[in-house]
């Protein structure tokens, strides 16, 4: 089992759901964690759960629906470990179920802000530093959603995540900063709903694969967490 001793990972949206599972998986590999929630109190449970792993844990808060909230997350990292080696852009929101014709402009903008623009801002904040240090792993959580026009803002935001990830991978080619995107599968979370196919725990170990890649490994690639369920 590859260990990540001495590394720092920021996992957005790690107060619950997929982000909490990813944080626990990285902690088991001795990675130090920056955990994130919209409010400071939201991360208390995650911090408590990570105590027994014997790692350093730093908590940041900020609502990714605003530029001020995103900057609060960045400033929180700066005031803690100062940098991250692994950026796990997990936080996201679902759009309301409605006919595609009836989605107002402000809803499109709200979904794109959290699911795409906040992610880009975090990549801009930490990606260049990773390049200078010659090491980094950026994982952007995508989705396998398709043929669902009633959730068009969500689906389109995730399609944009895919394209941005591939472009960023080209920008960081040969830098040992590997940028990949992950489809976690349809999981029973607050976002995925109770009718989803898999329990949230099934995101592991697959969700860790792009974070554990060896130096100069694949970049700009899609990883499917459910392809690795048999390894759990």
Domain borders along the chain are 8-231
Q: What is the pLDDT of residue 192?
A: 63
Q: Give the single-character DSSP code of 186.
A: S
Q: Which CATH superfamily is domain 8-231 in?
A: NAD(P)-binding Rossmann-like Domain (3.40.50.720)
Q: What is the pLDDT of residue 200?
A: 67
Q: What is the pLDDT of residue 110?
A: 98
pTM for the full model?
A: 0.95
Q: What is the pLDDT of residue 14?
A: 96
CB 153 within 8 A of CB 95: yes
Q: What is the pLDDT of residue 189?
A: 64
Q: What is the pLDDT of residue 22?
A: 97
Round to whole Å and give the CA distance between 71 and 67.
6
CB 140 within 8 A of CB 183: no
Q: Which two tokens stand for residue 174?
A: 């040969």
Low-confidence ranges of the chain (pLDDT < 50): none
Q: What is the pLDDT of residue 185?
A: 72
Q: What is the pLDDT of residue 158?
A: 97
Q: Tell me how far CA of residue 88 lies from CA of 74, 122, 139, 163, 188, in angstroms.
A: 13, 10, 5, 17, 20
Q: What is the pLDDT of residue 190?
A: 64
Residue 84 C-alpha from the chain's centroid: 13
Please name the residue ranges forming H helices in the chain: 17-28, 44-50, 67-78, 105-112, 118-133, 152-171
Residue 181 annotated in active site? no
Q: Which of 53, 154, 198, 228 is catalytic?
A: 154
Give the 3-state secondary structure of residue 140. strand
């Amino acid at each position: 089992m590859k260990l990540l001793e001495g590394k720092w990972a920021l996992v957005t949206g790690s107060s619950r759901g997929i982000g909490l599972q990813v944080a626990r998986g990285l902690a088991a590999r001795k990675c130090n964690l920056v955990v994130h929630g919209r409010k400071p109190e939201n991360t208390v449970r995650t911090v408590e759960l990570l105590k027994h792993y014997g790692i350093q844990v730093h908590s940041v808060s900020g609502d990714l629906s605003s530029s001020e909230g995103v900057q609060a997350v960045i400033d929180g990292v700066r005031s803690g470990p100062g940098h991250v080696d692994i950026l796990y852009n997990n936080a996201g929101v679902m759009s309301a179920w409605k006919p595609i014709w009836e989605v107002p402009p402000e809803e499109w903008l709200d979904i794109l802000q959290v699911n795409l623009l906040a992610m880009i801002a975090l990549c801009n904040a930490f990606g260049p530093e990773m390049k200078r240090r010659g090491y980094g792993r950026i994982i952007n959580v995508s989705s396998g959603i398709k043929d669902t026009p009633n959730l068009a803002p969500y689906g389109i935001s995730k399609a944009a995540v895919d394209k941005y990830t591939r472009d960023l991978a080209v920008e960081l080619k040969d830098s040992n900063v590997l940028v990949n995107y992950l489809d976690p599968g349809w999981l029973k979370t607050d976002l995925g709903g109770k009718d989803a196919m898999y329990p949230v725990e099934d995101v592991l170990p697959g969700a860790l694969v792009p974070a554990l890649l060896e130096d100069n490994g694949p970049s700009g690639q899609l990883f499917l967490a459910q392809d690795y369920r048999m390894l759990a």
